[in-house]
Structure 1
């Protein structure tokens, strides 16, 4: 395991969830700032972009580097959020979760194909697993990311914008936390120290 500098857990959570929470609140209360029904998503998107950039800046200031997943997600937020605002078309910000999750899933599967479980690079400082453990965990997360991408497509194409925004906060986050917790047996079963002692 490496001893690289890490953010305190609560700060890390705030930096990751803060922009998303602001996106939800801004969309819910944009009318109080004079935005019409169809314009609320654009106000929320502008704040989402700003909050994402602030979160990345704080993370970089404290760590002197940017974690790969928040960086990729941040770039997509800025690009697709920017297109949403420039073209006044909410489709782009709604596509962002589909693109990010598909990208993460494809990258993880690609790493497995080339026998390089990339999740190990991202989480090595958190978990110490056997090679088989990393392979299984990587495959599970890849499939989960594809599932999230599919769910996002279903929700934004069949539900209202307000429902989609709520789903991002109250659907995706609980699902992700539940999925992560469900991996605990795998993490315990494939712990590297246990394998060495056996």
Structure 2
């Protein structure tokens, strides 16, 4: 039953499906950033065209991931919905600002949800990650508090970059800066994980 409920997929394939669309967006933007396309009598710059291609690619890779694993996290589902909505608005209205606002809304929403849980004395992060990362409640509360502040910081940074810098600077920030920041955050929490982590019980031979 367990194998049926949770299908296994190699880490390389999973990473390709999750990060592939982002890498494709970056490469597509670099190649088409100075191009202008006339479609149906309306001019679209390279950013809008790449955004239009990114949406179905994101839907396709997420669908493949779901077919291979049998499940999607709430974060993955929310990300796809926001990409579709705000990316679609950017393409429909020919206005790149909507797509650039997407990270701000995602991080602000995550911070609000986790903050609401903290207000109730709970860690919603534990609900999402508790099975794969067993840890004492005190540890989850510490990580969740820090993550709320971190998400707020990322939301503010995204607003500063897309409003104050060029589109190319924002694409680099979105592709490399935000990804590196998330990895760095969790790497710096290693002391909390080691202090409050719970080792799974060992089965008798």
Aligned match of 1:164: 170
More RCO (CA 8 Å, sep 6+): 1
How many pairs does the alignment contain?
193
Other-structure match for 2:25: 23
Out of 188, 196, 201, the position equivalent to 1:182 is: 188
Quote the Cα distance in structure 2 between the aligned partners of 1:80 and 1:34. Answer: 21
Partners of 2:141 and 2:117 lie apart in 1 by 10
The offset of 1:10, in angstroms, is 2.2
With normalisation by structure 2, the TM-score equals: 0.86
Bigger mean CA deviation after superposition, 159-168 or 6-15: 6-15
Alignment CA distance shift 1:69-1:193 (3 Å): same
Bigger-Rg structure (1/2): 2
Greater than 6 Å deviation, 4+ residue runs: none
Distance 1:15 1:147 in 2: 27
Greater shift, 87-96 or 166-175, is seen at 166-175
CA contact (8 A) 1:42 1:88 kept: yes
Provide the residue aligned with 1:173 in structure 2: 179
> Which blocks of at least 5 consecutive residues in structure 1 are unaligned?
none
Stretch moving more, 45-54 or 94-103: 45-54
Name the stretch that deviates more: 100-109 or 63-72.
63-72
User: What SS does the aligned partner of 2:185 have?
Assistant: helix
CA distance in 2, matches of 1:75, 1:139: 26
TM-score, normalising length: structure 1: 0.89
List aligned pairs for 1:68-147, cutoff 5 A. 68-147=74-153
CA distance in 2, matches of 1:31, 1:104: 31
**Aligned position for 1:12:** 14
Relative to its length, the structure with more helix (as a share) is 1
